[in-house]
Amino acid sequence: MVFQFFQKLGKSFMLPIAVLPAAGIILAIGREDVFNIPFIHAAGNAFFANLALIFAMGVAIGISKDGNGAAALSGAISYFILSAGTTSINSTNNMGVLGGILCGLLAGYVYNKFKDTKLPEYLGFFSGRRLVPIMTALFTILLAAVFGYVWPPIQSVINDLGEWILSLGATGAGLFGFFNRLLIPLGLHHVLNNLFWFQFGEFSGATGDLARFFKGDPSAGVFMTGFFPVMMFGLPAACLAMVVTAKPEKRKATAGLMIGMALTSFITGITEPIEFSFMFLSPLFIWCPCYFDGAFAFYCEHSWDS
């Protein structure tokens, strides 16, 4: 049951995470040291400035059974209430992306529970999906009352954990790369990514490796850099090797499949099709990308430090 929950949670991250590459490119194009177009830079920055809200809406859609827009609206309402409620109790509270994910989970499950609810005829207008945002708001008020008081110690633990992992330097980056790939067959790597990319570390109001990097933090990028050599060169090379070693009568079909996978990995960074093809041949092959991702993450960070 717990495994299924985290697997579903990981899959629900896919929608908001899918927008990250495009937002990053837009942000980079507008930078002063690239094309120096302020409004383009502001457009890209708008995504990262509202990351928690986007996760609240995206996770709500992913958790809901039919992906209806009412779930996304409920997620947004929940996030606004939680953010305002917790900061009114303690002005230092900032739940960030984790708060957005929590609101998305709540909105998704409330949607699944109440989307078909029928009210008495005189309240019929509020039946079904129209009831979902109202119920979500009520539940979120209770949630805000709790997290307004319990979030500071939780945030302290998260900060301490993040600082400890960051203090490991290249070793921490290598361990992250290894376990990130190891969790892919279970679909839980997105849960791990969320902590490292959006929570650990703080710079100019931005939290997480990804947001800090785009804010210009010179120490950011530790938990992203090591993936690029593998995504852009290592795994496409593995695809080429499988084409070359295929039986002559199967080579054309193999090439058609592998070229598509290699291009997907190179352009978008989506490596799962290649890695699942490894596991189809032999489950033991999953250790190969685990090792190489961990090794490259370690090497890239070690080289940067030295």
One domain, residues 143 and 252: no
Q: Is residue 33 part of a domain?
A: yes
Strand partners, 203: 206
Of 60-74, 144-158, 188-202, 216-230, least confident by mean pLDDT is 188-202
- Spatial neighbors of 7 by CB under 8 A, at least 6 apart, are 186, 187, 188
Domain boundaries, position 205:
2-214
Examine the domain organization and report whether 208 and 246 are in the same domain: no
Label residue 287 by pLDDT band (50, 70, 90).
Answer: confident
List Cβ neighbours of 296 (8 Å cut-off, separation of 6 or more).
177, 226, 227, 229, 230, 234
Token pair in block for residue 218 = 């010179």
Do 32 and 116 fall within a single domain? Answer: yes
Which range has the top average pLDDT, 62-66, 221-225, 265-269? 62-66
Q: Residue 63 above 90 pLDDT?
A: yes
Decide if pLDDT at 305 tops 70: no
Asked if the structure places residue 197 within a domain, the reply is: yes
Shared-domain flag, residues 21 and 78: yes
Structural domain total, the chain = 2
In whole angstroms, give the CA distance from residue 264 to residue 161. 34
Q: Is residue 56 part of a domain?
A: yes
| Per-residue b or e along 150-164, where b marks 16 or more CB atoms closer than 10 Å to that residue's CB | ebeeebeebeeebee
| Domain-located, residue 182 | yes
Residue 220 lies in a domain: no
Whole-number Cα distances in Å, 127 to 117, 124, 140, 148, 195: 6, 5, 20, 31, 37
- In Å, how far from its chain's centre is CA 82? 20
CA gap 221, 166 in Å, rounded: 11
User: Is the pLDDT confidence value at 18 over 80?
Assistant: no
Asked if residue 106 and residue 59 are part of one domain, the reply reads yes
> Per-residue pLDDT for 110 more than 90?
yes
274 and 168 part of one domain: no
CA dist 225 and 244 (Å) reads: 29
Residue 48 has pLDDT above 90, yes or no: no
Query: Quick check: is 281 in a domain?
Result: yes
Claim to verify: residue 149 and residue 254 sit in the same structural domain: no
Q: CA 290, CA 247: separation in Å to the nearest integer?
A: 28
Tokens describing residue 179:
């376990």
295 and 151 in a common domain: no
Name the domain boundary from 148, 182, 214: 214
Q: Spell out the residues 6+ positions from residue 86 whose beta carbon is closer than 8 angstroms to its own.
A: 93, 95, 99, 144, 147, 148, 151
CA 101 to chain CA centroid, nearest Å: 10
Verify that 279 and 209 share a domain, yes or no: no
Are residues 7 and 88 both part of a single domain?
yes
What would the mean pLDDT of 195-207 be, rounded to a whole number? 82
Q: Which residue has the higher pLDDT, 100 or 190?
A: 100
Per-residue pLDDT for 148 more than 70? yes
Pick from 191, 214, 237: which residue ends a domain?
214
Same-domain status, 9 and 80 = yes
Instruction: Give me the pLDDT at residue 147, please.
Output: 94
Q: Is 76 exposed, middle or buried (0-12, 13-18, 19+ CB in 10 A)?
A: buried
> Residue 279 in contact with residue 261, Cβ under 8 Å?
no
Mean pLDDT along residues 35-62:
87
Residue 306's pLDDT is what? 58
Question: Within this chain, do residues 162 and 206 fall inside the same structural domain, yes or no?
Answer: yes
Region 53-62 average pLDDT: 93
With respect to residue 221, please indicate whether it lies within any of the assigned structural domains.
no
Give 3-state DSSP helix, strand, coil % of the chain, rounded to 5: 80, 0, 20
Look at residues 198, 196, 247 and name the one whose alpha carbon lies nearest to residue 51.
198
Q: What percent of the chain has pLDDT over 90?
A: 27
Residue 222 lies in a domain: no
- Domain boundary (179, 214, 249) is at 214
